[in-house]
Amino acid sequence: MFDYKQLVDQLLNTVKLKEVAPDVFEGESFDYVGKRIFGGQVLAQAIMAASHTLNEDKPCHSLHGYFLRGGSINQPVIYKVRHLRDGRSLSAREVTAIQYKEDQQGNKLEQVVFTMIASFSPMEGGLDYQEEMPAYPPPEDLESEQSLKEHHVGSVPEPLRERFMRPRHVEIKPVKPRDPVYPEPMEPKQANWLRIRELGEQPVAIQQALLAFSSDYYLVGTGLMSHGISFMTKGLQAASIDHSMHFHRPFDINEWLLYDMWSDTTSHSKGLNHGQFWQNGNLVATVQQEGLMRLRG
């Protein structure tokens, strides 16, 4: 058995930034998916960096980011925040995420790994409409991702088995599980229930940061489904290129959220993927991401 509380504590440490200069913050890096920084980590930390520069406690209502380089988990990430606007309701921030690389002379070269523009606004009343929440089996009727791994671990190459079986920091229950080793071509549509239990009461900024963190799981893989390939397919090069997110309504990530995902096109080695987060019948956030999906011979 693994200690889930320890995983939650690591998540909270991920979004706990250190201010190193005015409007400059440092975030610790963790091994979530391998030697390159997990895109969800950078998204979460960038939201936190921007939120720390607000004079008022405003939730984020939209963000648009680009992953420019693969970051290293062996060094922290520096987030530089630029104030673009502070109006009576809307506040806009530009966040640049930086790591450093040494040249042959030992000089440290600044490299931008991610950039984001985010807008913040207080919750207020007004016109309200949404579509109905999709109907899927409830999480209580589904098997957890961790349990499902047990069915496939025997087909995973020996060098990858330990990492394959590592528990996620986010508890996930796929609605319609897919074979990760020998996938069949299918409609590029999938849904997961997810939550981060034992998180406790947290500020809106941390809730939004951790939802952004969670949104990077499975989304880019949706575009692979119609082609019958997965992240374990030999010769596949896959990565997130950009990520946008809109927050519509309050939510609690301690409780189950439905993450409904689909892809409507793949072309030129890229796939466009969409997602919606639902909780208690409410549409709480919308996500869109383009992913690189290049097959090498």
pLDDT tens, residue by residue, 264-294: 999 999 999 999 999 999 999 999 999 999 9
pLDDT, the chain, mean: 94
Say if strands 236-240 and 24-27 run parallel, antiparallel, or are unpaired. Answer: unpaired
Is there a domain that residue 130 lies in?
no
- At 58 the pLDDT is 93
Contact 71, 29 (CB under 8 A): yes
Is there a domain that residue 134 lies in?
no
- At 164 the pLDDT is 86
Q: Which two tokens stand for residue 268?
A: 């030129």
- At 163 the pLDDT is 84
Question: What is the percentage of the chain residues whose pLDDT exceeds 90?
Answer: 80
Q: Judge whether 240 counts as a catalytic residue.
A: yes
Write out pLDDT tens, residues 132-180.
Answer: 999 999 999 999 999 999 888 888 888 888 888 888 999 999 999 999 8
- The CATH number of whichever domain residue 202 belongs to comes to 2.40.160.210
Looking at residues 31-47, what average pLDDT do you find? 94
How many domains does the chain divide into?
1
Q: Which of 286, 129, 261 is nearest to 193 (CA)?
A: 261
Choosing from 45, 240, 263, 279, which is the catalytic residue? 240
Choosing from 207, 216, 260, 279, which is the catalytic residue? 216
Q: Is the pLDDT of residue 1 over 70?
A: no
Write out pLDDT tens, residues 221-280.
Answer: 999 999 999 888 888 999 999 999 999 999 999 999 999 999 999 999 999 999 999 999
Residue 44 CA to chain centroid, in angstroms? 8
Looking at residues 87-92, what average pLDDT do you find? 94
Is there a domain that residue 32 lies in?
yes
- At 143 the pLDDT is 96
Q: Say whether 208 sits in a helix, a strand or coil.
A: helix
Q: Which two tokens stand for residue 146?
A: 């961790």
Is there a domain that residue 221 lies in?
yes
- At 34 the pLDDT is 85
Q: Is the pLDDT of residue 69 over 60?
A: yes
Q: Measured between alpha carbons, how far is 138 from 253 in angstroms, rounded to an integer?
A: 16
Q: Which two tokens stand for residue 292?
A: 């690189």
Q: Judge whether 208 counts as a catalytic residue.
A: no
Is there a domain that residue 128 lies in?
no
Q: Measured between alpha carbons, how far is 242 from 230 in angstroms, rounded to an integer?
A: 20
Q: Judge whether 147 counts as a catalytic residue.
A: no
Is there a domain that residue 136 lies in?
no
Q: Which of 275, 248, 242, 247 is nearest to 261 (CA)?
A: 275
Q: Which two tokens stand for residue 222?
A: 């949706």
Say if strands 242-247 and 189-195 run parallel, antiparallel, or are unpaired. Answer: unpaired
Q: Which of 190, 191, 198 is nearest to 169 (CA)?
A: 198
Indicate yes or no: pTM above 0.75. Answer: yes
- At 246 the pLDDT is 98
For 276, the domain range is 4-122+143-295
Is there a domain that residue 138 lies in?
no
Is there a domain that residue 234 lies in?
yes
Q: Measured between alpha carbons, how far is 142 from 177 in angstroms, rounded to an integer?
A: 10
Looking at residues 51-62, what average pLDDT do you find? 94
